[in-house]
Amino acid sequence: MANGVATFYDGASAYNIPDNVRAWTGTVDYATGCVNMSEVTGGVIPAGTAVVLTSDETTITLVQSLSAASAIESDLKGTDTYTGGALTGVENIYVLRSGEFVWANSGTLPSGKAYLVYDASQAQAAATRLWLNFGGEELGIAAIESLAEKQSLYNLQGQKINVQQRGQILVRDGKKAIVR
């Protein structure tokens, strides 16, 4: 487990939660841009439930459970099969990498892992970061820079411009424009 955090998913089997591990499901609050994590209770991760695992241990072992717990509704999703690069064309997926949740729109997703699909169309425009809230302890997810944020404005002398003025010649993304 990198930095004490890992994801887990199994669509067919339930697993016992070891004493030194906490398992969490998540629900996105689109109004605040926060993912509220809820701890899985009962000591069992139900089949078909994607979870985030937290622990102080670097290695943990999950043992299959004979318990037939019902799947828990969550915004976290999981995969039973290796995607082999099938993430192309999918937007706003966050995966756990080196203890941090990062945005990915291509690449591979190993089997047995959980990920978060963030529906940006439902989010408020002001939400620039997505946070994981583990019962008061927040973990940040790096925000996706929009193209408009990346394309800063410059004057002809190469100075960055914050305020546009009428009649000013500006350069954005290598193209000149006049502010009218």
pTM for the predicted model, two decimal places: 0.68
**What token pair was written down for 43?**
């000591």
Nearest CA to 53 out of 32, 22, 16 is that of 22
- Residue 45: strand pairing partners: 15
By the 10 Å C-beta count (0-12 exposed, 13-18 middle, 19+ buried), 104 is classed as middle
Give the start-end residues of each E strand in 21-128: 21-29, 34-39, 44-45, 51-55, 63-64, 76-79, 93-97, 100-104, 113-117
Write down the domain spans for the chain. 5-144, 148-178
**Residue 41 and residue 23 in contact, taking contact as beta carbons nearer than 8 Å:** no
pLDDT per residue as tens digits for the range 29-61: 777 767 788 999 999 999 999 999 999 888 889
pLDDT per residue as tens digits for the range 130-169: 677 777 665 655 544 444 445 678 888 888 888 877 788 8
